[in-house]
Amino acid sequence: MAEVRCRCGYLAPMKISWSYANPGKRFRACPRYGCEFCSAQGNESCRYFEWMDYDVSDRVANVIRGLLKRADKYEKEIDKLHLTIEKKDHEFNKKIWESNFKFLYGFGIGFVFALFVMNTWMKSDVANVGLLQLK
């Protein structure tokens, strides 16, 4: 098929509608058709839109609608799984941080206790009895 350009000069490619109302119908539209960004910038969006096909048969429309429903169902399930993975990942990272904190806390307490014992031992008379002396 020949290239078609809209009124603003952009190439208007052929696309297929996946909407529930017009499943499987081919159309051409300007890339700026219905562009909210263009409207927000004060530029008028192009209104070029043209259906290329007549309505598809009821059987084809029903098959496509069924596939669209199934795809939506799977997408929702995938989104739920992504949320579950993120939640589990967050819980896992939290447990790692807690474990590291407990280890460092225990190590710190042990180190302070060891310093206290060594300090006490060095100040006592037992240190001079010969534990560290060579014979």
Is the model more confident about 8 or about 105? 105
With left for phi above 0 and alpha for psi between -120 and 50, is residue 43 left, alpha or beta? beta
Question: Which amino acid makes up residue 15?
Answer: K
- Where are the domains positioned within the chain? 14-123
- As a residue count, the chain comes to 135
CA end-to-end distance (rounded Å), the chain: 103
Cα angle, residue 13 at apex, residues 9 and 15 outer, rounded to 5°: 145
Mean pLDDT of the chain: 83
Q: How many CB atoms lie within 10 A of CB 33?
A: 17
> In sequence order, which residues have a C-beta less than 8 Å from that of residue 30 and are 6 or more positions away?
6, 7, 8, 10, 12, 45, 46, 47, 48, 49
Residue 98 has pLDDT above 90, yes or no: yes
Q: How confident is the model at residue 31 (pLDDT cuts 50, 70, 90)?
A: confident
